[in-house]
Amino acid sequence: MVSIQKIWHRNAFRIGITFGFDENLKQKVRQHGAVWSKTHKCWYIDYTKENYRQLKATFSEITILKDKANSPASPAPGSKINHDIAHIVDPPVANNALRPPGEAEHKVEKPENDAAKAEFCSITGKYWVIKVSYNERISKALLGTKGVYWNRSHKAFMIFRHLTVKTKVEAILGQPDLLPPDYYTSDESIAQKGEIIVEPFALEKNKMMVHLPNLSAIIQQVKRYSGSRYSKANECYLLAATPAVLENLSQLASQNGLVLLNRLLENYVHKRNAPRLRQVKLDKTVENLQTLTSPKGRVYIDAMTDYMLALNMSHNTIRSYGSAFITFLRNCNYRNPEEITQKEIVRYLGDMMKRGLSPTTGNMLVNSLQFYYRNVLHCDHFEVKLPRPKKGFSLPPVITQEECIGIFEHISNPKHKLVIMLAYGTGLRLNELVTLRWGDILFDEYKIHVKSGKGNKDRMVMLPYSIVAALLSYRDLCSSKEWVFEGQYRGEPYSGSSVQQVMRRAVARVGLTKKATPHTLRHSFATHLLEAGTDLRFIQALLGHSSIKTTTIYTHLTKKGIDRIQSPLDRLVDEAKKKKENEKTIKK
């Protein structure tokens, strides 16, 4: 069931679209250019007659709700606000009802004060998925039940498929037999035998089509493979046609009692088909930007991403610039940027800052607009002069050497300890750390060759003497011949989020109140070098900073200079104490 409602959002009226946990409905509303609103917890599109008719044509059953008190507090002088969504096609009717022409009035059933209507949606792995109309008492009771949790992404409750949990949930909701008696058992994946079918992909010879059984555990693992993407046309996953991926699929099938059917031609798989890490990140970034963009603005964002790819920009820059530009287009109702004047741009930026936009995000927005107007539109005759939001000064967090030792001691896994110690001992960025190859470590010279770091620049950093023996022992034990820290799947690097999780757990065990991440180790590396008397220029080269101004921030963090400075209050108190002592001595 789909519900629509007139809402006031982003300085304009919109059609709010609400429905439960349903991926098919989600894809349909996206086809209409709908965008998710965190404020109203619904999808929304522009409040137009054409959009309303398209929704009626797409969804057979639509419930039209009366609008809530969400109109602007002070409308423009002389403007008339109509709170009826049906006014798009019909004159206003009594009771603010939303009635399309030729149809009977919709009656919106109001739930009882102490009851909640629940609806069973589907089965996902170990869980039943249900959606429940909001009721504070019932929601608290459900979340207090063991085996029930709230899925924030899909706005639904996940219920563990167990008889005891089923009985408790149905008693709380007052709806017996709501959940099917399809209970989860530990050997379910083996009991539900199936096949993993691997076939050649005609459109891309370096890819292979992988058809999976409807098992959530299997699908979730395959989705995490490097370069994995789902093809709706072929109803399968497309993976790199490499021996390592094929071997991973074979192991996945055998571990879960499945059969792997290999229908590939001879010599179809080859290691040269392995996707490059940079290519995978760029493809994923561009795909995400296209998903976030409405069809109305696709032509503008595609032109921008094409130009950034041609300039060989990093995926982080493309993501940041693209996301900021999409926000700008969305707030301008996807108008042609060539028609937007400089005054409108400045007014938009001021409005965003008024809403609490941080200076860093504001500068990123300015950079993205400057890039689009100067590079994509080639507006040489039109210079966009935008005000730069004043950026605040904040010191990066740093931990002491004693706290570093405590973190190392609270990590028992040798691989985890090695990656954290290497992060502190070299000052590498997180991405540089997880993509480190054995060939990049020069053991004889006690150096590490960082290739394609930030800004696609190479540099040399130190390899700590104290870690060489442990690193050599680890190399003899691990099976990876390429990556120093291999990920869960063979042939793939370690995940940056896994390193962050290791650090987070170690910090919690130590009991630090500071917020410390793997990047904090990089800040600590630079600060401790500076305290030891290392020249600032050498630290700049080790960190890979393009400007010395970036490195000078660590001068504000060193204790060496601060400890020598005495507060005037302390000096005043000390002099007063000395004066009293002298007076006592004279009296004696």
Q: Is 522 a catalytic residue?
A: yes
Find the catalytic residue in 237, 334, 424, 554. Answer: 554
By DSSP bridging, strand 127-132 and strand 259-262 are unpaired
Could you tell me the strand order of the sheet in which 62-64 lies? 35-37, 42-46, 12-18, 2-9, 62-64
Q: For residue 342, count other CB atoms closer than 10 A to its CB.
A: 13
Find the catalytic residue in 429, 494, 523, 528. Answer: 429
Distance, first Cα to last Cα, the chain: 95
- Please give the Cα distance from 467 to 448 (Å, whole number): 13
Q: To 10 degrees, what angle do helices 536-543 and 518-531 make?
A: 160
Give the position of tokens 């089923």.
166
- Please give the Cα distance from 300 to 325 (Å, whole number): 9
Find the catalytic residue in 32, 155, 449, 545. Answer: 545
Q: Is 519 a catalytic residue?
A: yes
| Helix, coil or strand: residue 459 | strand
Q: Is 528 a catalytic residue?
A: no
Strand partners for 23: none
- Residue 554 · residue 527 · CB < 8 Å: yes
| Helix, coil or strand: residue 526 | helix
- Please give the Cα distance from 374 to 351 (Å, whole number): 23
Q: Is 454 a catalytic residue?
A: yes
By DSSP bridging, strand 195-200 and strand 259-262 are parallel
Contacts of 358 (CB under 8 A, 6+ apart): none
Q: For residue 545, count other CB atoms closer than 10 A to its CB.
A: 16
Find the catalytic residue in 161, 207, 522, 528. Answer: 522
Find the catalytic residue in 87, 211, 454, 459. Answer: 454
- Please give the Cα distance from 71 to 83 (Å, whole number): 8
The torsion defined by the Cα of 492, 495, 496 and 499, in degrees rounded to 10, comes to -120
Question: Which active-site residues does the annotation give?
Answer: 429, 454, 519, 522, 545, 554
